[in-house]
């Protein structure tokens, strides 16, 4: 059950963050859920490969932020109701989602 709650919290974070960023459009809550699922699946399959290339810049979690933006950009390509203008908007989205997710998780737990 905690996996479903985590999925919904992350989808809520994506949906809320998209409302604040003009370069990001998520047309409904279902596309936000699909985006979370897509990013999770991409993280399972591409995450380890991309982390190998990050060995030189692992400091301060900066690469995790960049990795999330890369995965969001790839997931955006496959989901029609999600539109992210470019990589920089995906980077802003990844940072804002991280902050909102932390707040929502703290409120729920």
The Cβ-side half-sphere exposure at 60, using a 13 Å CA radius, reads: 1
pLDDT of residue 56: 55
Number of compact structural domains in the chain: 1
Cβ neighbors of 83 (< 8 A, separation 6 or more) are 24, 25, 26, 76
> How much helix, strand and coil, in percent to the nearest 5, is found in the chain?
80, 5, 15
How confident is the model at residue 55, as a pLDDT? 62
Let me know: does 21 contact 58? Beta carbons within 8 Å.
Answer: no
Query: Are 46 and 71 within 8 A, CB to CB?
Result: yes
| Cβ atoms within 10 Å of 88's Cβ, excluding its own | 11
pLDDT in tens, the chain (109 residues): 588 888 898 999 999 999 999 999 999 999 999 999 999 998 888 877 777 766 655 556 777 888 889 999 999 999 999 999 999 999 999 999 988 888 887 787 6
In sign, the C-alpha dihedral spanning 85, 40, 53, 77 is: negative
- Domain holding 99, by residue range, is 2-108
Query: Cα 22 to the chain's mean position, in Å?
Result: 16
């Amino acid at each position: 059950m905690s996996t479903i709650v985590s999925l919904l919290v992350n989808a809520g974070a994506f949906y809320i963050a998209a409302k604040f960023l003009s370069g990001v459009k998520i047309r409904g809550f279902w596309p936000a859920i699909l985006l979370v699922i897509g990013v999770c699946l991409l993280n399972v399959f591409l995450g380890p490969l991309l982390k190998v290339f990050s060995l030189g810049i692992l400091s301060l979690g900066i690469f995790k932020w960049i990795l999330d933006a890369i995965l969001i950009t790839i997931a955006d390509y496959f989901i029609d109701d999600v539109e992210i203008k470019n990589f920089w908007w995906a980077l802003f989205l990844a940072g804002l989602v991280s902050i909102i997710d932390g707040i929502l998780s703290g409120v729920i737990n």
